[in-house]
């Protein structure tokens, strides 16, 4: 569980990121899940964008993310979701 200070730090870093996956008109598909898993494994901190034509609401997507990934949701703002999953000792982020 991340503290408020750690989440603020990660939100600042995530503001510069481009989305790893975009959830479009097909919704939360297996392909989107693969992209998110690949992105988390490679980068630890990722951004996901929910397209305007997505059939899923952001709270539904949040629930799907929580059940499919063992990652912390750092922020949900507008149509963007920021996820973080530490690699443990190999992490490139030094959390405060």
pLDDT at 44: 92
| pLDDT confidence band for 69 (50 / 70 / 90) | confident
- Three-class secondary structure of residue 81 per DSSP: strand
CB 19 within 8 Å of CB 80? yes
> What are the backbone angles phi and psi of residue 82, rounded to the nearest 5°?
-110, 130
Mean per-residue pLDDT, 27-51: 92
pTM exceeding the 0.95 threshold for the entire prediction:
no
Is residue 95 in a domain? no
Residue 57 counted as domain residue: yes
Residue 52 sits in a domain whose CATH number is 3.30.110.60
Helix (H, G, I), strand (E, B) or coil at 48: strand
Domain total for the chain? 1
pLDDT band at 14 (very low <50, low <70, confident <90, very high): very high
> Could you list the residue range(s) of the whole structural domain that residue 30 is in?
4-85
Whether 24 is in a domain gets the answer yes
- Residue 92 in domain: no
């Amino acid at each position: 569980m991340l503290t408020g200070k750690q989440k603020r730090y990660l939100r600042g870093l995530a503001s510069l990121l481009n989305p790893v996956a975009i959830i479009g008109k097909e919704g939360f598909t297996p392909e989107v899940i693969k992209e998110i898993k690949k992105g988390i494994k490679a980068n630890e901190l990722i951004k996901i964008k929910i397209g305007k034509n997505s059939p899923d609401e952001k709270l539904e997507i949040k629930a799907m993310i929580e059940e499919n990934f063992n990652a912390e949701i750092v922020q949900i703002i507008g149509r963007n979701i920021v996820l973080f999953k530490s690699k443990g000792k190999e992490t490139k982020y030094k959390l405060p």
